[in-house]
Amino acid sequence: MLDQGGGVAVSDLDRMFDVGWRASASRGGGSGDAVDSAIAPGSGLGLAIARGLARAHGGDVVAEHTDAGFRVSVELPVHAGA
């Protein structure tokens, strides 16, 4: 996936895969009320699960900044005879 936006801060590229990690509240899409606007939506599980599944199969999920934008890649091995 390639995003033309700013993506995630370089300091957070590996942390974003931690269980429960979420970006700052300013990046959230809440309803705007006082309770909702204090946190970003979601539980912070999706990327941790994706990376765990990829690693269980000998691969990985990585995030990086490139000249073209912010990229998240899923890497899985190819097994002969599969």
- As beta bridge partners, residue 63 has 72
* Contact present, 23 and 44 (Cβ < 8 Å): no
Query: Model-level pTM?
Result: 0.66
Domains of the chain and CATH, by start:
2-75 (3.30.565.10)
Report which of 56, 74, 63, 73 is spatially closest to residue 15, judged by C-alpha positions.
63
For position 8, what pLDDT does the model report? 80
Could you tell me the end-to-end alpha-carbon distance of the chain, in angstroms, rounded to an integer? Answer: 25
Per-residue model confidence as pLDDT tens digits over 11-60: 888 888 888 887 765 444 444 444 444 555 677 888 899 999 999 999 99
